[in-house]
Amino acid sequence: MRSRRRFAVAVLSLSLLAACSEDAAAPRLADESSSGSSSDFVAAGADDAPRLADGSSSGGGFVSVAAGAGHWCGQRLDGSIRCWGHNSAGQASPPGGEFAAVEAGNGSTCGLRVDGAVECWGRDPIVARLTSPPSDRFGSLGLGVRHACGLRVNGTARCWGYNSAGQASPPGGLFAAVTAGGFHSCGLRVGGQVECWGNDWHGRASPPSGEFAAVDAGGDHTCGLRISGAIECWGSDELGLTSPPSGEFAAVDAGSDHACGLRNDGTLQCWGDNAAGEASPPGGEFVSVSAGSGLSCGLRPGGEIECWGDNRGGSASPASRDKFTSIDAGSSHSCGLRADGAVVCWGSDDYGQASPPGGQFAAVATGHNQSCGLHTDGTLQCWGDDEDWQAPGGEFASVSLGLTYSCGLRVSGAIECWGRNDHGQVSSRGVFAAVAAGPFGHFCGLGTDGAPQCGGNNVHGQASPPDGVFASVSLGHKNSCGLRTGGTIECWGSDDHGQASPPDGTFAAIALGSVHACALRDDGAIRCWGSDDYGQASPPDGEFTAVAAGSGHSCGIRLEGTVQCWGSDRSGQASPPSDEPSPTNWAKPDPPPTTH
């Protein structure tokens, strides 16, 4: 879904609108090409990347931002465009040169050149003509799902693309602004009245009377900004879309299934669908906001872009600056082991699971609402919810956390489990070389001969491994996967989301989430499969040294030791700290003993 920025709180005059677009107020510098990659995903560089959740981005220099469906674009001070995210059709590979505005859509992107010409890139698989705009000169632009509308410099509207319901057939007369939604379009008349055309399902194309300062068409709804600063929305209210918050706003932007408003004090408030956290904006001050499909992006006063919601491709989350040696992903939090032995966690901290203790560790593991670290002396220390388990004393070689129980491998090779025993998963098992605890009551141990032995919950066959020799094993909710000594992957158990159907090839490591899995190829690339509802199975490009999979997100360690995550970021679990960590998720290692 596309989105626009609305700064004006009074109706612009036609002469002013014809002179410049609403996103062209910033000064332009020399032309600079920003053509992106033609790969499936374009990952953001750490120099200017937007980031997810709290904190400012690591770069700046942008004057506007546009959120689409899985990709987003920013306009630089010099007029060049930079895009990130999904790039399967080239929608995140902008041409070079200078633009006055940019709009991100459902598989395509369009930019308004400074001379008023429209240029589009990407391709809608159903309507190729969407990215073949007319040769008219425009003062502003709106991009919908499969159609687009522009405001000519003479004040008339023209639309192109899919026109099944008349959404690309605007009425005559003069407008001050136009906007394109799912299957409808709307225009703001010079007098402040809103007029819409196209599909009127749920009344999304039937605006109320009265004067507005701005209008924005979403998927099944439309929102307008009144002259008073109040927001009024119409159309489908299934997700509370037409029930905006009260108060005064400076701008409103309607996405596919959610909307966001910019208050007069610069803070944001969003409403509607929040499945990926797209309606949970960070705090602080913004100057504009763009609501897309499953994600939102805002522009900070310093020119930094910050995004939240769907993190497909991981490209909205720049790699952390900290150097890590291992990583583990839990249900809604993540923890990494830094090179200096300190544990760093981020994401949900309701039970203290993302607040690690100090000290030096050799390994870290995460579960549902808890985490455990293995100290360099082999002792275990756990933090978070301890209702169902308490870590035993003594020395361990490794530890693995399930949902309500955990298992550790003693230095002697014996497996010891603790917590709930509703499936017999905490019973003593013998001598092993490795152990893995599944979320819902099954576990697998890797014998010293490489043969896996599993127990506990076996409703889906997840505790019935095949014969043969494995180098490692990883467990999901209802399935298990093992890495053969030759590098191939074999899975068993439920395959209802494709999580037990790994790709061909040879791999160096494997990690299972709830209903998805990721593996590290021999060349350092990450491949994922299974459920991709939040983009957790859509890893970024590049080389990695380690991979971890959580419930709805995944993380990897880059060659230089930085962490990058992708997928659900509703609790900040896919946003590793990219600057100085906060006191709530960072524990310094104990200082070395003083010598005299």
Could you report the per-residue pLDDT of 5-45, keeping only the tens digit for each? 333 322 222 222 222 333 322 222 222 233 333 345 554 44
HEC secondary structure over 170-200: CCCCCEEEEEECCCEEEEEECCCCEEEEECC
pLDDT digits (tens, 9 = 90+) for 408-449: 888 888 888 888 776 665 555 678 888 888 887 888 889 889
Question: Tell me, what's the pLDDT at 579?
Answer: 44
Residue 365 has pLDDT above 50, yes or no: yes
The residue among 57 and 494 whose pLDDT is bigger is 494
Apex CA 375: angle with CA 373 and CA 378, to 5°?
Answer: 110
Q: What is the mean pLDDT of the chain?
A: 82
Q: How far is CA 117 from the centre of its chain?
A: 32
313-335 mean pLDDT: 74
pLDDT band at residue 237 under the 50/70/90 scheme: very high
Q: How far is CA 261 from the centre of its chain?
A: 20
- The neighbouring-strand residues paired with 524 are none
What are the angstrom distances between the C-alpha of 437 and each of 367, 480, 524, 528, 577?
A: 10, 10, 26, 21, 28
pLDDT digits (tens, 9 = 90+) for 269-299: 999 999 888 999 999 999 999 999 888 999 9
Phi, psi of 387 (to 5 degrees): -65, -40
| Percent of the chain clearing pLDDT 70 (strictly above) | 82
Range of weakest confidence among 50-54, 91-95, 106-110, 311-315: 50-54
Residue 481 has pLDDT above 90, yes or no: yes
Question: Tell me, what's the pLDDT at 577?
Answer: 75
> pTM here?
0.58
Question: Tell me, what's the pLDDT at 320?
Answer: 58
Range of weakest confidence among 85-89, 200-204, 576-580: 576-580
Beta strands in 317-359 (DSSP E): 324-329, 333-338, 343-347
pLDDT band at residue 248 under the 50/70/90 scheme: very high
The residue among 390 and 143 whose pLDDT is bigger is 143
Question: Tell me, what's the pLDDT at 213?
Answer: 96
Residue 163 has pLDDT above 80, yes or no: yes
Residue 559 has pLDDT above 60, yes or no: yes
Q: How far is the first Cα of the chain from the last one, in angstroms, to the nearest whole number?
A: 66
| Percent of the chain clearing pLDDT 90 (strictly above) | 51
Question: Tell me, what's the pLDDT at 234?
Answer: 98
Question: Tell me, what's the pLDDT at 27?
Answer: 22
The residue among 577 and 182 whose pLDDT is bigger is 182
CB neighbours of residue 524 within 10 Å: 14
Residue 339 has pLDDT above 50, yes or no: yes
> Rounded to whole angstroms, how far apart are CA atoms 183 and 341?
54
Question: Tell me, what's the pLDDT at 568?
Answer: 86
Residue 252 has pLDDT above 70, yes or no: yes
pLDDT digits (tens, 9 = 90+) for 494-508: 999 999 999 999 999
Q: Is there a contact between 354 and 367 (Cβ–Cβ < 8 Å)? A: no
Range of weakest confidence among 280-284, 320-324, 508-512, 568-572: 320-324
pLDDT digits (tens, 9 = 90+) for 168-201: 999 999 999 999 999 999 999 999 999 999 999 9
Question: Tell me, what's the pLDDT at 321?
Answer: 61
State the DSSP code for 206. -
352-365 mean pLDDT: 91
pLDDT band at residue 56 under the 50/70/90 scheme: very low
Buried b (16+ CB within 10 A) or exposed e, 330-363: bbbbbbbbbeebbbbbbbbbebbbbbbeebbbbb
Residue 319 has pLDDT above 90, yes or no: no
Query: What is the residue whose two structure tokens read 């991009």?
Result: 143
Question: Tell me, what's the pLDDT at 47?
Answer: 41
Q: Is there a contact between 500 and 490 (Cβ–Cβ < 8 Å)? A: no
Question: Tell me, what's the pLDDT at 23?
Answer: 32
Residue 229 has pLDDT above 90, yes or no: yes
